[in-house]
Amino acid sequence: MHKIELGVMSYSHLSCENLKMRFHPRRLFLHSIALGLTGVFLPGCGLKLQAKARIPYRSIYIEGPLSNDLRYALQYNIPIFTSAIVVANPQAADLILVIERDEVNSTILAYSATGQITAFALNNLVGFYAYAANGQSVITERNIYVVRDMNFTVSTVLAAEIQQKQMVQDMKAELAMQIVRQLMALGRL
């Protein structure tokens, strides 16, 4: 048996005899049976992978004054969770998703004894509707919003700004998922 040493670690357990024992054909066969049985019995206990929602539209075009973060989240999530794809041309789309507004506002929640802001709420409002290529209304006009509270101190202004940008990005991802859930519900009609 050869002993290999690199720095402080010893690799003497990596001999040919040990490797043969580790990858013995009988052991590999038993491991593959156990893995196969696990794959057979897990669906029986109710565990299954989530399938894509089958919606009656194959392609979706997104239009309107929406932020890049929201557009990216929608373009990413729609093909993952539904049977549709996002297209760049409205003539190629079966469904048009119109984002009417995508507004981010903040509201002051608390002041310190010296009159400085110590907490505020971030609000993200998105208004949208969808219609089919033939002009038929599919999703009526609706507004959805997300609110996040944020503490603030004057000594950490830069960190608070970074945190606020991250919170807005997370809020847009959550709003995109809410819109995708509305699209997924079209498959149940």
Parse the chain into domains and list their residue ranges: 5-45, 59-188
pLDDT in tens, 142-154: 999 898 888 776 6
Does domain 59-188 correspond to CATH entry 3.20.20.450?
Answer: no
pLDDT in tens, 38-74: 666 666 555 555 667 788 889 999 999 988 999 999 9
Mean pLDDT by 10 residues, the chain (189 residues): 49 52 64 66 58 82 92 91 90 93 86 80 92 91 90 70 85 92 79
How far is 146 from 127, CA to CA, in rounded Å?
Answer: 12
How far is 147 from 130, CA to CA, in rounded Å?
Answer: 24
State pTM to two decimals: 0.68
Question: 68-81 vs 157-184: helix axis angle to the nearest 10?
Answer: 40
Q: 55: helix, coil or strand?
A: coil
